[in-house]
Chains A and B, each alone.
Chain A
Amino acid sequence: KNQVEQSPQSLIILEGKNCTLQCNYTVSPFSNLRWYKQDTGRGPVSLTIMTFSENTKSNGRYTATLDADTKQSSLHITASQLSDSASYICVVGMEYGNKLVFGAGTILRVKS
């Protein structure tokens, strides 16, 4: 079954600290992996997208990694800010058709 699992479900960190979110997937055939940030009641905003051949991609304070062999990805957030509080969703695109397989998300709360 095509699935994307994320951990932890939720996380609270202090402002300025770093954190890492995890994503494991069993999606086949794999095309790409995306990380989105979603504020409550708003649409998801793309952070990174990686294809099979890429193993790291950065977007400012966000760095995503991909290990296609172990089917794992991580999103590292550096020097967290209060505005980083949101849900972070790992999404895997299947090679054929239009299906995106969404993870349930990790809810991050950054405290001052």
Chain B
Amino acid sequence: DTEVTQTPKHLVMGMTNKKSLKCEQHMGHRAMYWYKQKAKKPPELMFVYSYEKLSINESVPSRFSPECPNSSLLNLHLHALQPEDSALYLCASSHRQGNIGYNEQFFGPGTRLTVL
């Protein structure tokens, strides 16, 4: 299995809702990432987990709460979002944290989030 899967593919939520995005990989990767991508813009890093521990939070608002329950799963819990949070949310994984050598990041297909 050489892919990163994300669910749901699409999500529409109101500003008072609580929802979660899910990401899964079975490549034995120990680093997992959340990115946010607005239309026609490059992805922006949000969080990095390394060996199930949060290692980087790029000053993301607390209405986004990441969770890594085990080495294969990564969740992003959403609460009290704003319309400007509407975007494509991408999950990625790599063998380990860092960019040395061929430490490739594999991306999932993304979740298209719309906040009303």
Contact = CB atoms under 8 A, between A and B. Distances in A.
A1 interface: no
Interface in B17-48: 31, 33, 41-43, 45, 48
A32 B97 CA distance: 14
A83 interface: no
B99 A102 contact: no
Contact of B45 (A32, A43, A49, A100): A100
Contacts of B107: 36, 43-45
Interface stretch (A18-26, A61-69, A91-99): A91-99
Nearest to B4: A43
Nearest to A34: B104
Contacts of A36: 107
A49 B102 contact: yes
Interface residues of B, number: 29
Contacts, number: 63
Interface residues of A, number: 25
Contact of A32 (B42, B101, B110): B101
A87 to B, nearest CB: 8
Nearest to B101: A51
B43 A31 contact: no
A60 interface: no
Nearest to A6: B42
B81 interface: no
Given A41-B88, A43-B109, A98 B4 contact: no
A49 B56 CA distance: 23
A99 B4 contact: no
Nearest to A31: B99
Interface of B: 4, 6, 31, 33, 41-43, 45, 48, 55-56, 88, 90, 92, 97-110, 112
